[in-house]
Structure 1
Amino acid sequence: MSENEKIALVDSPTSSWSVTETVNGSHEFVIQGYSLAKGMGIGKHIASENFTVGGYQWAVYFYPDGKNPEDNSTYVSLFIALTSEGSDVRALFELTLVDQSGKEKHKVHSHFDRSLESGPYTLKYRGSMWGYKRFYRRALLETSDYLKDDCLKINCTVGVVVSSTHCPRLHSIQVPESDIGSNFGMLLENMEGSDVIFNVAGEMFHAHKLVLAARSHVFGSDFFGQEGDDHEIVIADMEPRVFKAMLHFIYRDELNEDELATSSASSESCLADTLLAKLLAAADEYDLCRLKRMCESHICKDISVSSVGRILALADTYHAMELKAICLKFASENLAAVMQSDGFEYLKSNYPSLQSEILNIVAGCEEGYSSGGGGGGKTLSVCAQLSDGGDTNSRRVRQRT
């Protein structure tokens, strides 16, 4: 090949692009007992629970007496703080004091609407804050519609700035979703290769020993840990509908939501008779941890002042520790109302140790509050009040009959 006939090889052009955007998240911070928080001192704050946005943790700090000593408590201060480790975290912020009159005249300080003018704010390290030392004049706040029933509501929005670089993909192959649950579900439905039959109150269920043993060590011990090869096993302590729902989970790794919906209880007093409650018991008996957690998650949605006592008893009975912790926290935070419910009377009669756990949490919170020096010596013992049957105003709570 002559020089004139040589073919020049040219690389194809490539491209990429960078995308910068915000990952946004919001948090509502409710401050009850504003008048009691006053006087805690300039530079001292009330903090919200930590919340996560963009992979970082944040908190709202409210200063009832202001953050700036020079202002002599004329203003309340409000800030958003970075509470996790991080450096040079760039973010946009918005703080809103909610108008509780329904007129929607909220007081909003927003970084979002001026982001193009000044750019995102950079927080250098853990503890860095964005906000206002003079967020609102305290005298005006206390006569405004922002304060209702001695309560303030603050909404906080954080937008963490993230950047990513992309390049076009010349080829791609779509991978289908996993169908292993569907396949095993069909195995259960058509009973192909089944080698064990469960007799549950006269209703027969065909299943596969290896599948059940792989999912539950309790089944594994029953099948392979003892002599004998029983083809039929009698389940004496479970309803057919519960066993069916448990098998559905074992094979498909999911709950039958339609079955749960049609089997829901008509009132809180029937909690123990619901399919969810009995499925929780089955999950505990056969050590199906994921099934137990799924039941806890569903039952957790029904926690209320009237139901928390019975849900707490259920959680304690079947070792549902996540659900129990949430119930204890809810009951301790709403104690005055919970004490007057049938569920609390149920605990007193049947689970006195759980009642004690609630009171211990309340007493611990009270001790922590009193140790701050703010008139703790005048605070009556919560345990003393409750063990005597009285409410938080030392009035007797009428015993239910």
Structure 2
Amino acid sequence: MSILSSRTSSRSVTETVNGSHKFVIKGYSLAKGMGVGKHIASETFTVGGYQWAIYFYPDGKNPEDNSAYVSVFIALASEGTDVRALFELTLLDQSPNCKHKVHSHFDRSLESGPYTLKYRGSMWGYKRFFKRAQLEASSFLKDDCLKINCTVGVVVSSIDCSKLTTIHVPESDIGSHFGMLLENEEGSDVTFSVGGERFHAHKLVMAARSTAFETEFFNSMEEDDRDVVVTDMEPKVFKALLHFIYRDTLIEDEEFFMSSSSFLPSISETFAAKLLAAAEKYDLPRLKLMCESVLCKDISIDSVAYILALADRYHATELKAICLQFSAENLVGEFVYFPRKYSQLLLSL
């Protein structure tokens, strides 16, 4: 009886979709004097699914504090709400020195984060981009021409959903492969004689699954000793034991899952109880828990004392705890009238 578990994961990825646009302004001297707040706009360009435009104000954007400066802004030119982006505006030096004048929001993104544009027409930029007198005397202006480069990085977040590109990986079939190894007996190097029946197996597999078999094969037995006699187990129980060791599952046998109520008071003679004893002998804790799970389903007022005794004998701690809990909740009156029947429970409590 296997317990299936599921593990899932997802990943949120936040990154920028970047794009650049170069805006060349020819005839600067003719544009100058067009008036404060008047601008020259570039063609629109698309970055991150939104349209953008560069606005150049040769006489400044506002009269009160920047009329002596040229102003440059990047504007959202399409419909959008709360568009988050990073920006960089660069005035290109047209001399061989290439000492460009750069205003970059990318450099400050860790401190201030992306800038949010609320609606179409929202802008980011500099009212005092460059002092007009200095600009006109610099190598940024050449042949009455200015060159402005704008880079936009639109911030996008998405869930990295691997479902769209998943390659299906089937459940592990290692148990079936090892099971075929057991059935075919290929490469077997040890034989168990149990109640007149012989079972062929592999020492390495047995030792890997059970510390008891590891000790028996590699610390006690002679290397050429290929025959092991098991005297305290029925063949069908040993077969179920091998099935678990190779396949990691319980054997499909109706008798194993049969209710023990018909066997009372000899629960210890049931298939599940005998396999529990085998699991304890050969130190197979997972098999023990599987057997405990089967026996747990048979706990009742009539059977709890016998199952508790079984759990105590084979150190089945999970099963024992459930028996004691069941007894505490259901058998208060029974103790009074049938103390001898529940003596094991009385001692455990």
User: Taking structure 1 as the reference length, what is the TM-score of the superposition?
Assistant: 0.45
Partner of 2:346 in structure 1? 355
Query: 2:215, 2:307 → 1: CA distance?
Result: 31
1:197 is paired with a residue of what secondary structure?
strand
Q: CA deviation at 1:271?
A: 1.1
Q: CA deviation at 1:208?
A: 0.4
Letter in 1 for 2:227: E
CA gap of 1:305–1:166, structure 2 versus 1, over 3 A, is farther
Give the conservation status (yes or no) of the 8 Å contact 1:313–1:347.
Answer: no
CA gap of 1:241–1:340, structure 2 versus 1, over 3 A, is farther
Match of 2:202 among 182, 204, 208: 208
Q: CA deviation at 1:285?
A: 0.6
1:192 is paired with a residue of what secondary structure?
coil
Letter in 1 for 2:251: N
Partner of 1:312 in structure 2? 308
Select the structure with the greater relative contact order (CA < 8 A; seq sep ≥ 6).
2
Match of 2:211 among 213, 217, 220: 217
Partner of 1:115 in structure 2? none
Q: CA deviation at 1:172?
A: 2.1
Q: CA deviation at 1:171?
A: 2.3
CA gap of 1:224–1:341, structure 2 versus 1, over 3 A, is farther
Q: CA deviation at 1:357?
A: 2.7
Partner of 1:275 in structure 2? 271
Query: 1:12, 1:255 → 2: CA distance?
Result: 57
Query: 1:191, 1:257 → 2: CA distance?
Result: 20
Partner of 1:244 in structure 2? 239
Identity of matched residues, %: 58
Query: 1:211, 1:169 → 2: CA distance?
Result: 37
Q: CA deviation at 1:230?
A: 1.5
Partner of 1:254 in structure 2? 249
CA gap of 1:243–1:167, structure 2 versus 1, over 3 A, is closer
Letter in 2 for 1:181: G
Query: 2:334, 2:159 → 1: CA distance?
Result: 53
Give the conservation status (yes or no) of the 8 Å contact 2:256–2:272.
Answer: no
Give the conservation status (yes or no) of the 8 Å contact 2:190–2:226.
Answer: yes
CA gap of 1:201–1:264, structure 2 versus 1, over 3 A, is farther
Q: Which of the pair has more CA radius of gyration? A: 2
Query: 1:11, 1:236 → 2: CA distance?
Result: 80
Give the conservation status (yes or no) of the 8 Å contact 1:305–1:337.
Answer: no
Partner of 1:192 in structure 2? 186
1:345 is paired with a residue of what secondary structure?
coil
Question: 2:199 aligned with 1:232, yes or no?
Answer: no
Q: CA deviation at 1:11?
A: 8.7
User: Taking structure 2 as the reference length, what is the TM-score of the superposition?
Assistant: 0.51
CA gap of 1:246–1:264, structure 2 versus 1, over 3 A, is farther
Q: CA deviation at 1:226?
A: 2.0
Partner of 2:176 in structure 1? 182
Give the conservation status (yes or no) of the 8 Å contact 2:263–2:270.
Answer: no
Letter in 1 for 2:273: A
CA gap of 1:167–1:185, structure 2 versus 1, over 3 A, is closer
Letter in 2 for 1:357: S
Q: CA deviation at 1:346?
A: 4.1
> Unmatched 5+ residue regions in structure 1?
1-9, 14-163, 359-401
Query: 1:286, 1:224 → 2: CA distance?
Result: 15
Q: CA deviation at 1:211?
A: 0.3
Partner of 1:371 in structure 2? none
Query: 1:181, 1:322 → 2: CA distance?
Result: 26
The RMSD of aligned alpha carbons is 2.8
Give the conservation status (yes or no) of the 8 Å contact 2:311–2:320.
Answer: yes
Q: CA deviation at 1:269?
A: 1.9
User: CA deviation digits over 1:240-273, x for unaligned, max 9?
Assistant: 0110001000000000133445765423323111
Give the conservation status (yes or no) of the 8 Å contact 1:199–1:234.
Answer: yes
Match of 2:335 among 316, 333, 339: 339
Partner of 2:154 in structure 1? none
1:269 is paired with a residue of what secondary structure?
coil
Query: 2:169, 2:309 → 1: CA distance?
Result: 45
Query: 1:296, 1:341 → 2: CA distance?
Result: 29
